[in-house]
Amino acid sequence: MNCIIVRCTCVPVRIFRNWAYCNSDADWVGDHETRRSTTGFTFIFGGAAVSWGSKLQKTVALSTMAAEYMALCKASKEAFWLNKLVQSVASQGLRTAISGGPINIKVDNSGCIDFSKNPVEHKRTKHIEIRYHFVREAITTDKVTLEHCANDDMVADSMTKELGKTKHDRQVEAMGLC
């Protein structure tokens, strides 16, 4: 069996401080039959979408913040995977334009961002399952950073709900798909 080994050297034009960013969103109670929410995320690298997902959440969220937090957890897991992929590429001796720093995740729910950064359990949030606190670990280990994003700028909206033509076209352009 013959193997061909290809070596690639990418000369960076510029170094990205945050090599990728993500938009994370949820459509609270989007499924009217089951009352479950939809998670959506889009990772952008170099102006183009490189990873995205949309999935019905496994449990019913009791609030918008809880739905957004579950979506943020899913996006954080994807960020971990992308970070490991980049580290793997870098360990193969390939030069990249990637700094390997934390991935910035944009969220349009301020309550979700505050809850992610505050490890204190509150009476109104103790129903949120422990598995979703993966986000807190991702923040404390500097794998991800969180940033508030205005609703109109949320690229992941197209992953969670139907959009009007104008907003859809804007989202497609922001993802680098046209």
Position 8 confidence tier, pLDDT thresholds 50, 70, 90: very low
* Cβ-based neighbours of 143, under 8 Å, separated by 6 or more: 76, 79, 80, 83, 102, 103
pLDDT in tens, 13-64: 333 444 578 999 999 998 889 999 999 999 998 888 999 999 999 999 988 9
pLDDT at 152: 86
pLDDT at 89: 74
φ, ψ at 89 (rounded to 5°): -65, -45
The residue-averaged pLDDT of 69-78 equals 92
This prediction's pTM: 0.76
Comparing 172 with 26, the larger pLDDT belongs to 26
**Sign of the alpha-carbon dihedral angle for 154, 21, 129, 158:** positive
Position 71 confidence tier, pLDDT thresholds 50, 70, 90: very high
* Cβ-based neighbours of 50, under 8 Å, separated by 6 or more: 20, 43, 44, 82
State percent of the chain over pLDDT 90: 29
Residue 95 has pLDDT above 60, yes or no: no
Distance (Å, whole) CA 76 – CA 70: 10
